[in-house]
Amino acid sequence: MTIIFIITLALFAAYVIFRPTSKEELKRFEDNDNWSNMGF
């Protein structure tokens, strides 16, 4: 049971990290007025 939980958690984490970014996310990331890119 624990192994299944760990595998599911690892697959979910891999999906979140390696998922393809949408065009809207790329546009928001490249926006110079976006203060969240500065690390605040």
Q: What is the CA radius of gyration of the chain?
A: 16
pTM for the structure as a whole: 0.51
Number of domains in the chain: 1
The structure tokens 């999906």 sit at: 15
Average pLDDT over residues 11-18: 90
Range of the domain at 21: 2-38
Average pLDDT over residues 25-31: 76
Q: Which residue has the higher pLDDT, 31 or 17?
A: 17
Residue 38 has pLDDT above 70, yes or no: no
Query: Within 13 Å and on the Cβ side, how many CA atoms surround 14?
Result: 6
Residue 30 has pLDDT above 80, yes or no: no
Q: Across the chain, what does the average pLDDT equal?
A: 80
